[in-house]
Structure 1
């Protein structure tokens, strides 16, 4: 795909959604961090249902840590892998308290040192909480990037590298959200909704469905 076509795709996505953000509910960088840790292999809707009950009760490292693994598990047991996630969140809260003055660090290395936080989670937090031009590649972004040929790669790491390379600076902060939402609601896995897609004429997918 040439750079002119890429720019037009991103221009249209921006025009349709000028101020995109995550669909996870959060009111602070800490709430965002916890929500993203919980969202691994879970839907944003499912995470929101749990955190909408959790955060009014406990929304600081101290308060969540005080719940303990058993107490936290009661709030998040509807989410997949909740036992291991509860352990990770409690340990993350301890480290935030002891090493970061209870604040979410604006630093990739420090974030990735927290339990349950990998590169993708760190990218989401740095982008959404701090405005970094990071691109967290999930299954939606991986599919959309390869299917449209916007940025092709055989692994999420390769797609991230390609997107960082080919996406113009003016779009980098928001492209992560545009591509996730496009993959979630239009360029869906089994039957992409090509007929209602705003970039269909620019997309290089060969098996379009009208």
Structure 2
């Protein structure tokens, strides 16, 4: 895909949604960190249902440590892999208290050192909580980037690398939200909704649907 096409795609996505953000419910960097950690292999809807009950009771590292692992499990047991996620979130909170004055660190290295936090989660937190121009590549972004030929790569790291290279600076902070939402609601996995797609004429996917 050429530079002009990419620019037009990004412009249209921006025009349709000028101020995109995550669909996870949060009101602080800490709540976002917990929500994103819980969202691995789970839907945002399922995470929001759990955190809408959890956060009014415990939305600080101290409060979650006070709940304990078993107490935390009661709130997140509807989310997949809740046993291991409860352990990770509990340990994560302990580390935030001990090493970071209970604050979420604005540092990739410090974030990725937390239990249950990988590169994708760190990218989301840095981008959404702190405004960094990071691009968290999930299954939706991986699919959309490859299917449209916008930024092709054999794995999520390669797609991230390509996106960081081809997306102009003015679009970098918001691009991962646009691509996630596009993959979630329009360029869906089984049968993309090409007929209602704002970038159908620019997309280089060969097997377009009606």
TM-score by length of 2: 1.00
1:86 maps to what in 2? 86
Q: Offset at 1:141?
A: 0.1
Query: Are residue 126 (structure 1) and residue 121 (structure 2) matched?
Result: no
1:107 maps to what in 2? 107
Q: Offset at 1:99?
A: 0.1
- Write out per-residue CA displacement over residues 73-94 of structure 1, whole angstroms, 9 at most, x where no aligned residue: 0000000000000000000000
Query: Are residue 144 (structure 1) and residue 144 (structure 2) matched?
Result: yes
CA RMSD of aligned residues (A): 0.2
Q: Offset at 1:38?
A: 0.1
Q: Offset at 1:156?
A: 0.2
Question: 1:30-69 alignment to 2 at 5 Å?
Answer: 30-69=30-69
Q: Offset at 1:5?
A: 0.3
1:174 maps to what in 2? 174
After TM superposition, the runs of 4+ consecutive aligned structure 1 residues lying more than 2 A away are none
Q: Offset at 1:187?
A: 0.1
1:117 maps to what in 2? 117
Query: Are residue 18 (structure 1) and residue 13 (structure 2) matched?
Result: no
Distance of 1:68 and 1:13 partners within structure 2:
43
Q: Offset at 1:21?
A: 0.1
Distance of 2:66 and 2:145 partners within structure 1:
42
- Write out per-residue CA displacement over residues 124-182 of structure 1, whole angstroms, 9 at most, x where no aligned residue: 00000000000000000000000000000000000000000000000000000000000
2:76 maps to what in 1? 76
Distance of 1:46 and 1:136 partners within structure 2:
20
Number of residues of Structure 1 aligned to a counterpart in Structure 2: 210
Distance of 1:32 and 1:109 partners within structure 2:
18
Structure 2: where are the runs of 5+ without partners? none
1:164 maps to what in 2? 164
Partner SS state of residue 46, structure 1 = helix
Structure 1: where are the runs of 5+ without partners? none
TM-score by length of 1: 1.00
Q: Offset at 1:121?
A: 0.1
